[in-house]
Amino acid sequence: MNTKLYLIRHCQATGQEPEAVLTADGARQAGRLADFLNDAGIERIVSSPFARAIQSIEPLAHRLRLEITTDPRLQERVLSSSQLSNWREHLRQTFDDLDLRFPGGESSREAMQRGSAAVQAILDQKPMGATAIISHGNLLTLLLKHFAETIGFAAWESMTTPDVFCVQLVEADASITRIWQPGSKI
């Protein structure tokens, strides 16, 4: 197998809820994202069903005349159903202990398994060119961790909105390059 996946974090949004839309800056970012990925050989687009993820990739989908397929397994991870004081520290802890789960939330391992099942379903489909996968910062970091276990909280912390990572799969090996900031290896 020689496959290329573009893992994309959505553009700037008005909030975290599923129906949160892109800000005016986020809409401009989506246009720049389409320009950036226009010649990447993308033949398939799979997105989180959240509005901000779909809106982030719509300009590229229109330009390439591709349908956006949504997969609920790509929606953002719920850290907890209740407000956590110092949520960043709680998030850091879940990267240190992949099985740590806060009330009403998913552990990192559970979210990673959910997201990686969506990626595997993409890989199991008939061979195609590159696939764009649009998701959210926390889940995207866990997907990257699925391919390279050394990835953790620091990778999440350094992500931008949007952000783009190219995962090149050759046989059982994966190489990851952050391409939104060209040449940045993680």
Q: What is the CATH number of the domain that holds 167?
A: 3.40.50.1240
Residue-range definition of the domain harbouring residue 24? 2-185
pLDDT per position as a tens digit, 58-92 = 999 999 999 999 999 999 999 999 988 899 999 99
Question: With helix as H, strand as E and coil as C, how does the chain read?
Answer: CEEEEEEEECCCECCCCCCCCECHHHHHHHHHHHHHHCCCCEEEEEECCCHHHHHHHHHHHHHHCCCEEECHHHCCCCCCCCCCCCHHHHHHHHHHCCCCCCCCCCCHHHHHHHHHHHHHHHHHCCCCCEEEEEECHHHHHHHHHHHCCCCCHHHHHHCCCCEEEEEEEECCEEEEEECCCCCEEC
Q: Which of 51-65, 128-142, 149-163 ranks highest by mean pLDDT?
A: 51-65
Number of separate domains in the chain:
1
pLDDT in the model for residue 126 = 72
Region 158-180 average pLDDT: 91
Q: What is the value of pTM for the model shown?
A: 0.93
